[in-house]
C-alpha cells in the first residue's frame, strides 16, 4: 500500500533512507544527505534528524539576519565569513558534498542573474559591496545558504507537486525582499507592478531550484 506523504516525511526525518519503491525499510540505510560514518551517525541518533533539520532552517535564518543587518554597518566581511563557516560545516556532514557544491553553484548563478536583473530594471535596489552592476556579495552568500536548505529543511518540497513550490515562492519570495528593505539592505517602491514582478519571479525560480536539486541528487 502506498504510504502517505506524512509517513514518508516522518521516515525521512528519522535519518533513514528514502522509502524504497517496494516499501521495504532498513535502518542500515542512512539518510541520503548525511554521512554514514559511525561517529556522525551517533551524533544524528543522539539529536534526532528532525532537530538537525530544524538547525539547518535556523542556520539559514541566522545567516539571513547576519547578512541583511551587516549592510551599511561595516560588518559585511564578518557576515560573509560566518556564511562561509556554515557552508563548510554543512559540507562536512553531508554524504555527497560535491553534489551540494554543484547545487549551490547552480542556485548561486541563478540567484545572481535574478537579483541583477531585478536591480537593472529598477524593480528593487540593493545596498552593499558589489562587483560592478552585479548584485551585492551578501546576496551571493544568501543564495548559497538557501541552496543548502533544499536537501534538508526544504526537502519536503521535492516530494510534493511543483505547484507547492510555486506557491511557496509566490508568497515568501516578496516577503523576504520586503523584510530586507525594512532593515535597510534594499529599497523598492511598494506597487502592484513591483510586487507582482517579485512574486512571479519567485513563483518560477523556486520550482526551478527544486528541480535542480532533484536532478543533481539523482546523478551518480
Q: pLDDT tens, 148-202?
A: 999 999 999 999 999 999 999 999 999 999 999 999 999 998 899 999 999 999 9
* Grid cell 533539520 in the structure block, residue: 53
Residues 25, 126: Cα–Cα separation, whole Å: 48
Tens digits of residue pLDDT in 74-115? 899 999 999 999 999 999 888 889 999 999 999 999 999 999
Cell of 162: 511543483
Per-residue confidence (pLDDT) for residue 218, from 0 to 100: 87
Residues 106, 137: Cα–Cα separation, whole Å: 16
3-state secondary structure of 219: coil
pTM for the model: 0.80
Residues 150, 143: Cα–Cα separation, whole Å: 11
Amino acid at each position: 500500500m502506498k504510504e502517505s506523504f506524512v509517513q514518508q516525511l516522518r521516515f525521512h526525518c528519522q535519518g533513514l533512507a528514502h522509502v524504497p519503491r517496494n516499501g521495504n525499510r532498513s535502518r542500515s540505510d542512512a539518510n541520503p544527505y548525511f554521512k554514514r560514518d559511525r561517529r556522525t551517525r551517533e551524533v544524528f541518533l543522539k539529536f534526532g534528524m528532525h532537530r538537525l533539520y530544524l538547525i539547518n532552517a535556523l542556520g539559514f535564518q541566522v545567516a539571513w539576519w547576519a547578512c541583511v543587518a551587516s549592510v551599511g554597518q561595516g560588518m559585511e566581511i564578518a557576515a560573509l565569513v560566518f556564511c562561509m563557516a556554515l557552508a563548510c560545516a554543512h559540507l562536512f556532514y553531508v554524504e555527497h558534498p560535491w553534489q551540494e557544491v554543484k547545487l549551490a553553484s547552480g542556485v548561486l548563478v541563478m540567484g545572481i542573474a535574478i537579483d541583477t536583473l531585478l536591480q537593472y530594471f529598477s524593480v528593487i535596489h540593493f545596498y552593499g559591496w558589489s562587483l560592478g552592476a552585479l548584485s551585492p556579495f551578501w546576496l551571493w552568500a544568501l543564495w548559497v545558504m538557501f541552496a543548502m536548505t533544499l536537501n534538508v529543511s526544504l526537502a519536503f518540497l521535492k516530494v510534493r507537486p511543483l505547484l507547492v513550490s510555486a506557491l511557496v515562492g509566490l508568497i515568501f519570495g516578496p516577503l523576504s525582499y520586503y523584510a530586507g528593505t525594512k532593515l535597510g539592505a534594499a529599497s523598492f517602491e511598494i506597487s502592484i507592478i513591483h510586487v507582482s514582478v517579485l512574486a512571479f519571479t519567485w513563483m518560477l525560480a523556486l520550482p526551478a531550484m527544486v528541480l535542480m536539486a532533484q536532478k543533481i541528487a539523482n546523478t551518480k
